[in-house]
Amino acid sequence: MSKERDYYFEQYQDRKMKKWAGFYLSEHTTMIEQEQKKKPVKKKTQMTWSEIDEVLAQAFQNQIEITIQKEELDSEGNYGADIKGRIQGHDELGLYVDGQKIGYDEIRHVQLS
């Protein structure tokens, strides 16, 4: 390398990173704080299909609110938040709770709320 080029890189300061660092850090720290506030959902007992069917039938007939834990895990191996609501309808593949379709095979645990 030439001496001029060496001098340039020794004196070079990237102001762009400094300009955006404050913005990035505030957004990033907010996101990290929100993630830390989330507590992992506890694993509930796996119910048999007949137990699930019995609770769902009672909830549908009496229009009782239910809480469902899906069998789904996130990338860190934690269960997602419980789904709460009333059963709005069903078909041969699953049921609708507060506008969300949940397949029968996705249900790990269900209880009356």
At 50-91, the pLDDT tens digits run 999 999 999 999 999 999 999 998 888 889 889 999 999 999
pLDDT of 99 reads 87
Residue 94 makes CB contacts below 8 A (sequence gap 6+) with: 101, 102, 103, 104, 106
Whether 43 is in a domain gets the answer no
Whether 99 is in a domain gets the answer yes
At 14-33, the pLDDT tens digits run 666 555 555 556 777 787 77
Residue with the bigger pLDDT between 16 and 48: it is 48
pLDDT of 32 reads 76
Domain tally, the chain: 2
CB atoms within 10 A of CB 41: 13
Q: Looking at the structure, do residues 32 and 65 belong to the same domain, yes or no?
A: no
Whether 101 is in a domain gets the answer yes
Tell me the two tokens of residue 24: 């990035």
Q: Looking at the structure, do residues 76 and 31 belong to the same domain, yes or no?
A: no
Domain span holding position 16: 3-37
pTM over 0.75: no
